[in-house]
Each structure stands twice: as structure tokens, then as C-alpha cells.
Chains A and B, each alone.
Chain A
């Protein structure tokens, strides 16, 4: 039941996107998100669509997977669109009771819908093609200049990779404990809010105990292998830019430039 969540999940495949340096993908995703809020007009959104479609095809990840990730944010999307639809002031087209729909509202709602959808698909494209470990390595490498101002870059990235590593384990554990308690007649699905929370106790207590135990074991195992923080620590798979990464950077720069141009000169319907 919990396995349904696909945001942040890695999908193994043999594609150029999978092989790309994670730093390129991380920066690329940020550029794409920025561009979504830069572009204006039909041409701009067409460009964003073509770019995304091309990446989806390159990634060799079934489209179904990205749509699945969408399901989780579906409500946020609908609510955002409704707010924009009803609360944007402008030329009223349709009104009912206290609700007013304006032309600007419709445009704004469509725009937000497209942006959010592309944003989620774009960033899930990154997580689907990059293992969590690669991703934290990329972040550590990209943010390492901050070490100059004594930001704990290594510690944060280590915590992140451990946390990411534990998500599937804890989900599996939750699933197991839940089943064991259901077998003892526990009911996690019915009853009112208060009852439901109370019914979670048989799930949460064992889950926390096991999480603490695992954390303890892990700390011990890391210490036993002489982990002593980031100082002088080398990586097993250091990141190196390859030819394709430079090509990707050039394409990315071209895309960003096009978006800026469209931002300045764009217009049109939306």
C-alpha cells in the first residue's frame, strides 16, 4: 500500500540521462524550474513542452511512472488551480453567489496548472534517472564552496543520503508491522479521527523502536569503520565530467538563453 509513492524513486534503465553527471542533472532541473516561471506566451510554453518531451524520450523511463508521481500532488494542483480561478481579479466572465470567474483567472489557472505539472514531471525526471547517492554527491560537490564559510556541507549531505537510504527500509518495516497487527485484529482504516490516531499506537511504537535500533546499529557500524566526518575523506566513485556533460551544459545554456529571450520579447495568449 505504501509502495505506491513514486516521488523520489529511482528507475534503473540504460539511457543517456542516466549516464549524465548528477551535477548536470541537478543544475539542469533548477534551470528548468526557473525557466518555467520565466517563459511567457505560447512560444515559451511550447519550448518548455518540447524540452520536457525530449528529455522524457531520452530517459527511457515509461511515461506511466511520471504520471504516477503526479497522483500524489493531484490535490495540491487542483486546489491551486481553483484558488487562481476564483481569486484573480479582472474582467468577470461568470459569477455565482460570491464566486467570480475572470478572464485573467482562467489564464492564471491554466498557467499555474501547466507550471506545476511540468515542475513535478521535470523534477521527478531527475530523481527517476539519478540514484539518491549520486544526487547527494552532486549536492555535496556543488555546495562545497560554502565550506569556506564553515557550512557543514559534508555533514548535511551525509545525513541526507542516510535519510534517503532509510526511507524504503522504514516503509518496508511499516508494511510488516502493519500486517502483523492486522493479523492480531488491529484496524487502521475505520473509526473517527481520534480513534484512528489511537489505533496508530501499535504501529508507531514498534516502528520507532526499530528505527532507533537501526540508527544505533548504523552509528556503530560507521564508527567501527573509522568514520570521522568529512575531513580528508575521499569518494569511492568521484564525479568527473565527461564529453556528454559538456554537450549537456551547452544545450542547457542555449535553452536558458532562449527562455530569457522569450521572457523579454514573448507575449501572446498565455
Chain B
């Protein structure tokens, strides 16, 4: 098991009158090569949850294990853990600080004490992987567009060669085209390099399209943990949590109710299209 949370709870401002139970008794296992989507309404505890994976937050209760080892045992090398588990925060472009893009991306590898040539190579590779054109490598990160900055920030974490890449809403504030591009590149990282991906998102459509496992967080607890299809079958319960299934789920249910024999478990547009065409073709025969 790559990552494991055992009975993890986290309380902000513990022992004060402002105490907030952000996580309650979370049990979770993540294996190598998975693409996990994490979804939940605002304030449900997603960001708190993912910061436990790389030891940025220490659970007030419970254990976090990386490759079977408790990361909070004495003398555990948290620096090494953070090389293995890369975390890209919400609006990561706010962390850029260097004078040019390449040097900024090299910050992570430098902290891993790699040689300058190696740092450079890693940085160039990472930037190409996130689809940033070579001509921007020497530009100041502050002169880039929002979407380009986002890519640079993701590359900054990617350059550390993590086994797990956690992204907190990497597409917030991007246009649909930029969103698809970034998510497509993230999927490629999993498919081509075998990097385990944990993707926090607000968009049901995105996780339906890209993730093969979906974790739904509700008020600091895990409400569902299953394949997207299986989770969306509970769309009534999701609504009660202030979430919604993808639009397609509603369409398919409606069609089924009106007598068209479609697959109600279709969650992406292309799946739905196939299913509807099949149903229509079946109807013509009669």
C-alpha cells in the first residue's frame, strides 16, 4: 500500500473555543498507479485531508502511513516523504518567486540536493510535460498568464519526481480549454510515468472523465469511496450533501424514465452518446 490513513482525525485550534473538527476518523488506502478524485462541498475538509498525505499537517488522532511506515514516528525523514508525495496547492501560482521560470522550477530539485545539471534537466522535462513552450523558460514567472503560471507551479512539484502527485483544484479559474489541457496532461503523467494522482475538484464532470476512483468527503467524513459510476448512482444522496452528479446522469435517468432503454450508469458525454445511439438504433428495428 502506497498511502494509508488509519482513523485520522484533525481538529483546528484544538482546546480553544474556536475548535473546528475538520476531519473525523478517516480510513483510506491508496495504491500505486491510481487516479483518485476527491470531491466535496466547500469547507468539507478536502484541503485538510490532502495535507495529511505529505506530512504538512499532523493528525490530532490516528496514523498516516507511506509505504507501510508511520510518517510521524521519531526520526522519520519528512523531507524524503515530501519528495515522494508532491502536493500542488490551490492557486499554486502564488508561490512563484524566482526571476525566471526555469530557476523557479529548479527550486524543488535543488532542495533534493541534486547536481545543477540534473536540476536543470528535471526542470526542462517537467515544464515540457505540463505543456509550457520552450520560449517561456527564460521569462519572468510574473509575466505569464494565469494558466501558464499554473503550469509552471505544477512543474515545480513535478520536477521533484514524486511517486504521488496531489493537486488541489488545479483547474480553478481556468477556461474550459485550459482545463481540459491540464487534466489531459495530468492523466498522461499517470499513464506514461505511472505517477499516482490524487485530484481534488469541484467538478463532477472532470472527476467522472478522468478519475477511476472517487472519494466523496462530507463534513470531515468519507461519504463514498468507489468508482465514479457507483458513486453517481447515489445521486440523490449527493444532492443532499450539496453536490450533484454530472449533468449526463440526470439526462440519462430522465430518458430512461421516458421509456428509452439507455444505460443510466453512463457518466461521460461520450459514453452517453454511445448508449443513446444504441438505444435509438434498437428502437428503429421494431
Closest B residue to A204 by beta carbon equals B97
Partner of B79 from the list A11, A185, A201 (CB cut-off 8 Å) is A185
What B residues does A62 contact at CB under 8 A?
Answer: 17
**Stretch from B83-91, B207-215, B232-240, B246-254 forming part of the interface with A:** B83-91
Give 1 or 0 for each of A205-241: 1 = CB within 8 Å of chain B CB: 1100110000000000000000000000000000000
C-alpha gap A177/B160 in the complex (Å): 18
Shortest beta-carbon distance from B61 to chain A in Å:
20
What B residues does A186 contact at CB under 8 A?
Answer: 107, 111
Judge whether A176 is part of the interface by a CB distance below 8 angstroms: yes
Contact yes or no, A184 B107, CB < 8 A = yes
Judge whether A244 is part of the interface by a CB distance below 8 angstroms: no
Partner of B111 from the list A176, A184, A209 (CB cut-off 8 Å) is A184
Interface of B is mostly: helix
Contact yes or no, A177 B13, CB < 8 A = no
Contact yes or no, A206 B95, CB < 8 A = yes
Contact yes or no, B107 A183, CB < 8 A = no
C-alpha gap A185/B77 in the complex (Å): 12
What A residues does B156 contact at CB under 8 A?
Answer: 184
Given contacts A176-B89, A179-B89, A202-B107, contact A185 B95 (CB under 8 A): no
Judge whether A3 is part of the interface by a CB distance below 8 angstroms: yes
Chain A residues touching B, range: 20 to 34
Contact yes or no, B13 A3, CB < 8 A = yes
Give 1 or 0 for each of B220-250: 1 = CB within 8 Å of chain A CB: 0000000000000000000000000000000
Contact yes or no, A183 B96, CB < 8 A = no
Shortest beta-carbon distance from B141 to chain A in Å:
10
Judge whether B46 is part of the interface by a CB distance below 8 angstroms: no
Judge whether B279 is part of the interface by a CB distance below 8 angstroms: no
Judge whether A187 is part of the interface by a CB distance below 8 angstroms: yes
Given contacts A177-B95, A201-B97, A202-B107, contact A183 B87 (CB under 8 A): yes
Contact yes or no, B112 A180, CB < 8 A = no
Shortest beta-carbon distance from A15 to chain B in Å:
13
12 more A-B contacts (CB under 8 A) besides A11-B17, A179-B56, A206-B94?
A176-B94, A180-B89, A182-B56, A183-B86, A183-B87, A183-B89, A184-B107, A184-B111, A184-B160, A185-B108, A185-B160, A210-B94
- Name B residues whose Cβ lies closer than 8 Å to a Cβ of A: 13, 17, 51, 54, 56, 79, 82-83, 86-87, 89, 92, 94-97, 107-108, 111-112, 142, 156-157, 160
Pick 27 A–B contacts, CB within 8 A, sort by A: A62-B17, A176-B89, A176-B94, A179-B56, A180-B92, A181-B95, A182-B82, A183-B54, A183-B82, A183-B86, A183-B157, A184-B82, A184-B95, A184-B111, A184-B157, A185-B79, A185-B82, A185-B83, A185-B107, A185-B108, A185-B111, A185-B112, A185-B160, A186-B107, A187-B111, A206-B96, A210-B94
